[in-house]
Amino acid sequence: MVAPRPIRTPKELLAQQLVPEEEFATITDVAKKYALSITPAMRDRIVGPDDPIARQFVPTGQELISLPEEREDPIGDDPFTPVKGITHRYPDRVLLKPVLVCPVYCRFCFRREVVGPGDSMLKEGQLAAALDYIRSHPEIWEVIFTGGDPLIMSPSRLRPILAALDAIEHVKVIRFHTRVPVVDPDRVTEEVVGALTLDTPVWVVVHTNHSQEIGPGARRALRLLAGSGIPLVSQTVLLKGVNDTPEALEDLFRTLIVNRVKPYYLHHGDLAVGTSHFRTTIAEGQALVRRLRGRVSGMCQPTYVLDIPGGHGKVPIGPGYLNGDGTVTDPWGITHTYPPRSSTD
């Protein structure tokens, strides 16, 4: 049997009946602009044309619509790039982007203008310069691997980079932002886990947006990582038509906790070009987050955050419960004075 390969062309989408014939020309235009890939693991979990998985990975003509407020560099990586492959926005931590490819391409990706197949791996000299930058900045406490998806790298490519970081005294924590354990779980092997096992603690942040993504393969991969002592947290993008209901979010966050993954961030959709069909309003996001409070375990509550366009950082934008008039609203919408004035307040 031939091992299944990712879907990478509009022709393959058509052959797999993931796009209708009449949209083929449009999809071809979209695929010229933005990278396309759907792993077999994700293909297997698509059950219908408009389901939460198909919406995330199957291109649509809506991606050709751009709004004036949308930007090619929505969260302002460029102005904070001192050397290729490094983004240094916060003093104590840097992003390290050794590769700009992914096993899947999300249709709402905030780095969609720079991520995709092609010449997208740091060359040896560039990687050495990135590591030198980290070495020469003692304020860098944490190195965050992102990209692209850093776990697309083989253990033999990861090992020397991790060994170099492990040897830097001031780097106390290494973090991986990845979708691999969910979208391409077979890549998570004992060998990869071995490569992630260093003196410096490695944390893994799993990007996942819907419980339907988390099948038997993902559960095995998460169990292997968690069972090896690697702390797991998650990040989720709030996406219209994918997870913008209280039920979908509740189900996802419960599934994550059951798989030993602590929900970390719920991101408000970034202003990436051609992604307006995925964005909710902040008010809608706050209403959803409010619905989870009081009804779902505190363990299941991520922080709802906005990455302020232009590189001004992430801030929590969840609903407030303190009302500024000496009252506080409980999870069920009833206000109380604080401190209480009588035993019934």
By annotation, the residues acting in catalysis are 89-90, 93, 102, 106, 109, 111, 270, 307, 314
DSSP, res 228: T
Determine, following the binding rule CB under 6 A, whether residue 87 of this chain makes contact with ligand PLP.
yes
Residue from the set 58, 75, 248, 288 that interacts with ligand PLP by CB under 6 A:
75
Choice between 144 and 183, CB closer to ligand PLP: 144
Q: Which token pair is 320?
A: 């407030």
Determine, following the binding rule CB under 6 A, whether residue 234 of this chain makes contact with ligand PLP.
no
Decide the pairing of beta strands 93-96 and 335-337: unpaired
User: DSSP letters along 258-293, please?
Assistant: HTT-EEEEEEPPP-BTT-GGG---HHHHHHHHHHHB
Determine, following the binding rule CB under 6 A, whether residue 137 of this chain makes contact with ligand PLP.
no
Rounded CA separation 232/203 (Å): 6
How distant is the alpha carbon of residue 172 from its chain centre?
Answer: 23
Do residues 148 and 120 lie in contact, with contact meaning Cβ atoms separated by under 8 Å? yes
Q: Which of 73, 71, 72, 63 is nearest to 33 (CA)?
A: 63
* Helix, coil or strand: residue 84: coil
Binders in 308-327 for ligand PLP, by CB under 6 A: 314
Rounded CA separation 155/162 (Å): 10
Determine, following the binding rule CB under 6 A, whether residue 267 of this chain makes contact with ligand PLP.
no
Determine, following the binding rule CB under 6 A, whether residue 95 of this chain makes contact with ligand PLP.
yes
Choice between 42 and 239, CB closer to ligand PLP: 239
Determine, following the binding rule CB under 6 A, whether residue 106 of this chain makes contact with ligand PLP.
no
Question: What mask, x for binding ligand PLP by CB under 6 A, covers residues 138 to 177?
Answer: ------x---------------------------------
Determine, following the binding rule CB under 6 A, whether residue 86 of this chain makes contact with ligand PLP.
no
Residue from the set 8, 33, 84, 93 that interacts with ligand PLP by CB under 6 A:
93
Amino acid at the residue 280:
T
* Chain residues in the site for ligand PLP (CB under 6 A): 75, 87, 89-90, 93, 95, 144, 314
